Chain A
Amino acid sequence: MRFLAKRLAGLVAVLLVASFLVYGLLYLVPGGPMAFLLGNRSGTPEQIAAIRAQYHLDDPFLVRYAAWLRDAVTGDFGTSLVYRQDVSALMASRATTTVFLVVYATLLIVTGGVAMGLLAGLRGGRADGVVTLVSSAFLATPPFVVGVILVIVFALGLGWFPVFGAGSGFGDRVHHLTLPAVTLSLASAAFLARVTRASVAEESGREHVETARSRGLAEGHIVRRHVLRNAAIPVVTVAGLNVAGLIAGSVVVESIFALDGLGSLFVRAILQRDFAIVQAVVLVLVTAFVLINLVVDLCYSALDPRLSRQ
């Protein structure tokens, strides 16, 4: 329990620092926040006044930050300069696609990556060689290249999947998001396969496995109870970190498949210098990373009794 409390305190500290940086970035821009917020748009005096009011530009910096943070905590990230809409509403409508995509890709990674890794680690020999080769290729290919190749082959060439859009309804969504999810997951699945393989191979050679063998336990039982159980510790860690990577990767994948998710909203906001959205998305991303890290740490200590009781 103390462990959890300590971790939560650390989490809040990280989020505070991150929010401060995200907010402060606005003031690092050459020309100051006003020039930045307006970008290459020429604002009417009323617009400028509205911006000054929205960003509280006449208050001292810390007061402005505090006000912004208070709003952000309650889910109010201000109004988009481009869309003239509530940032939270803009994000909420797009979050579904991104979350669906990331969850879909996570499932693919965990099932595919672990299965490949187990195959290579337990079977060895030729299976090991094939998995190592395939995972090297997947690791070296950037997701946007994978995506473009998949589009060219499966969407444009074979016509099995749609090229664009996120679809509506569960089945249609799955159909639309299959290529994006595969794109997003290949490299991470390859990495997870490698980690699983290495971890399983290492655990198989441990002394306590020899003990289990010397006691005449069945091989399947040894693999399940001793090899896999112990190998799960690094695998869970890496899987968790990979999910964080997936959230970042979804920015690229949404751009390839023209999906209207948080990622494409983010990219457009950067191009259009719509800073309220940039701040909000970054804060949400960082929160997601930090939360995932927390979950990974909790899993870690649940899996490894050497950590949880200290």
Chain B
Amino acid sequence: MSLLTLEGFGLAVPYGRGRRTLVEQVDLTIGRGEAVGLVGESGSGKSMTARAVIGLTPPGARVTGRIVFDGAEVPSGRALRRLRAERIAMIFQDPRAHINPVRSVGDFLTEAMIHNLGTPVRQASARAVRLLKEVGIGDGERRLRQYPHELSGGLLQRVMIASVLAVEPDLVLADEPTTALDVTSQSEVMAILDELRRERGMAMLLITHDLELAAATCDRLAVMYAGRIVEDIDGEPRHPYTRGLMRSRPSLEEAVHRLPVIPGRPVAAFEAGEGCAFGPRCDLAEPRCRETRPPFVRGVACLRAEETA
């Protein structure tokens, strides 16, 4: 049985008098211990989807479809808090903004242990030091007394990872965990996260715009565009958008003089017209692509997927 299932998940936020759809018709499953990557550009709705799993939706948002975690729909109120506290944890993109700047690193690490799990303060601190060691931070006792502004972004993100490990959740939601870091610490942090997650058998939903990074760490990948999943990648990418993403990133092997870019700008779900949301930017688009939304068939939502494969 899968750990997390999203069925026809959609999300709309209030805008003026009406609503704007940001995510629609998303189906996604994650098995126990499995890592799934959700890839897309900014504004594609991937972060919203991850946040919705633990009920962190914007005020006034309307959620449609079902989110099922471990056999039961995601609850609200006290039960939702317990779910967040014990079973699903989230790693955010920018640790500097997402860790309270006026509380010490030790406070941040032990807060959840003390208040959610009832760990005595002294034990929590000892545990925090061990966790820091696991994420590659040696002088734990000193670090616990430091404040976030005294640590680099890379170190801070490791602290965030340690805080998630402390809870031993079943599922980690990682929202662009390395995007805000400098290039040198990106791969280290990702490696630490992936290794420790595997050791503990935690499942992970990795939100990223970096297709290659997702492919390297995840068991399966889904690509999102304009609030919908356009492709579940299984082998070679078939959707023109996925291929565009692949082409438009620098390769280490071959020198390319100019990176090919996908023309136009990404659109949000509410901006997409009748037909394929990617149609206006797609060099394979045909008249019929403008008429109806391509159905999601055998892992891809493209009318021309078969011909181009």
Contact = CB atoms under 8 A, between A and B. Distances in A.
Q: Do chains A and B touch in the complex (CB under 8 A)?
A: yes
Interface of A: 206-208, 210-218, 221, 225-226, 229-230, 233, 303-306, 309
20 contacts: A206-B97, A213-B56, A214-B54, A215-B85, A215-B111, A215-B116, A216-B84, A216-B112, A216-B116, A217-B112, A221-B115, A230-B102, A304-B102, A305-B102, A305-B147, A305-B149, A306-B101, A306-B147, A306-B149, A309-B147
Given A216-B116, A218-B115, A304-B102, A210 B56 contact: yes
Interface in B82-132: 82-86, 89-90, 92, 94, 97-104, 111-112, 115-116
Contacts of B56: 210, 213-214
B150 interface: yes
Interface string B159-184: 00001000100000000000000000
Contact of B85 (A216, A225, A305): A216
B246 to A, nearest CB: 31
B173 to A, nearest CB: 8
B102 A214 contact: no
A153 to B, nearest CB: 42
Nearest to A230: B102
Interface string B50-92: 0000101000000000000000000000001111111001101
Given A221-B115, A230-B102, A305-B147, A214 B90 contact: yes
A210 B98 contact: yes
Contact of A309 (B54, B111, B150): B150
B92 A211 contact: yes
Contacts of A304: 102
A5 B99 CA distance: 32
A221 B101 CA distance: 17
Contacts of B103: 225-226, 229
Nearest to B107: A225
A207 B86 contact: no
A129 to B, nearest CB: 17
Given A225-B111, A309-B150, A216 B100 contact: no
Given A214-B90, A216-B116, A208 B83 contact: no
Contact of A208 (B80, B85, B98): B98
A219 to B, nearest CB: 9
A213 B80 CA distance: 11
B84 A214 contact: yes
Nearest to A208: B100
> Which 9 pairs show the lowest CB-CB distances between chains A and B?
A216-B85, A216-B84, A207-B97, A208-B100, A305-B147, A214-B90, A216-B81, A211-B98, A207-B98
Interface of B: 54, 56, 80-86, 89-90, 92, 94, 97-104, 111-112, 115-116, 147, 149-150, 163, 167
Main SS class of interface, B: helix
A224 B49 CA distance: 29
Contacts of A306: 101-102, 147, 149
Contact of A217 (B83, B97, B111): B111
A305 B104 CA distance: 9
Nearest to A227: B100
B142 to A, nearest CB: 13
B50 to A, nearest CB: 10
A309 B85 CA distance: 33
Contacts of A303: 102
A139 to B, nearest CB: 29
A122 to B, nearest CB: 14
B99 A211 contact: yes
Nearest to B166: A215
Contacts of A230: 100-102
Contacts of A210: 56, 92, 98
Contacts of B92: 207, 210-211, 214
B86 A216 contact: yes
A221 B89 CA distance: 18
A215 B98 contact: no
Given A206-B97, A208-B97, A216 B82 contact: yes
B94 A207 contact: yes
Contacts of A225: 103, 111
Given A207-B92, A306-B147, A216 B102 contact: no
A210 B92 CA distance: 10
Given A206-B97, A230-B102, A306-B149, A217 B116 contact: yes
Most buried by B among A230, A305, A309: A305
Contacts of A215: 84-85, 89, 111-112, 116, 163, 167
Given A208-B100, A217-B115, A225-B111, 16 more contacts: A206-B97, A207-B94, A208-B97, A212-B111, A213-B56, A214-B54, A214-B92, A215-B84, A215-B112, A216-B116, A225-B103, A229-B103, A304-B102, A305-B101, A305-B147, A306-B147
A148 B238 CA distance: 80
A303 B102 CA distance: 7
Given A207-B94, A208-B101, A211-B92, A216 B147 contact: no
